[in-house]
Amino acid sequence: MGEIEVDGQLIEITHPDKIIWENQGITKMDYIQYLLDVSSYLIQHAKERLLMIWVYPHGISGKKIEKRSVPETAPEWVSHTFYKEKERILLNDRATLVWAANYGAIEFHVPFDRHDKTDYPLEMVFDLDPPDANSFELVLEVAIRLKHLLESLGLISVPRTSGSLGMQVFVPIQPHYSFEQTRKINTFVAQYFAEQLPQHITLERVVSKRGNKLYFDYLQLWRGRTIPVVYSARAKSEPTVATPLTWEEIETGIRPTDFTILNMKKRIQEMGDLFSLITTEKHNQSLDDILKFIQKNKV
Mean pLDDT over all residues of the chain? 96
- List phi, psi (to 5°) of 55: -105, 135
Residue 299 has pLDDT above 80, yes or no: no
pLDDT in tens, 187-201: 999 999 999 999 999
Separation between Cα atoms, residue 219 and residue 125, nearest integer Å: 9
pLDDT at 58 over 90: no
Question: How far apart are alpha carbons 287 and 175 in whole angstroms?
Answer: 10
Task: Assign 157 a pLDDT band (cuts: 50, 70, 90).
Answer: very high
The DSSP secondary structure of 229-243, one letter per residue, reads PTT-B-SSSS-BB--
Instruction: List, for residues 127-148, the tens digit of each pLDDT value.
Output: 999 999 999 999 999 999 999 9
Residue 214 pLDDT exceeds 70: yes
CA distance 187 to 123: 15
The DSSP letter of residue 26 is: E
User: What's the confidence (pLDDT) of residue 88?
Assistant: 98
Where does the pLDDT of residue 93 fall: very low under 50, low under 70, confident under 90, or very high at 90 and above? very high
Mean pLDDT of 75-85: 96
| Mean pLDDT along residues 226-253 | 97
> What domains sit in the chain, N to C, each tagged with a CATH number?
2-110 (3.90.920.10), 123-297 (3.90.920.10)
Q: Give Cα 237 to chain centroid, integer Å.
A: 19
Helix or strand holding residue 171 (H, E): strand 167-172
Q: With pLDDT > 90 as the criterion, what percentage of the chain qualifies? A: 96
State mean pLDDT over 205-213. 93
Is 1 a residue whose pLDDT tops 80?
Answer: no
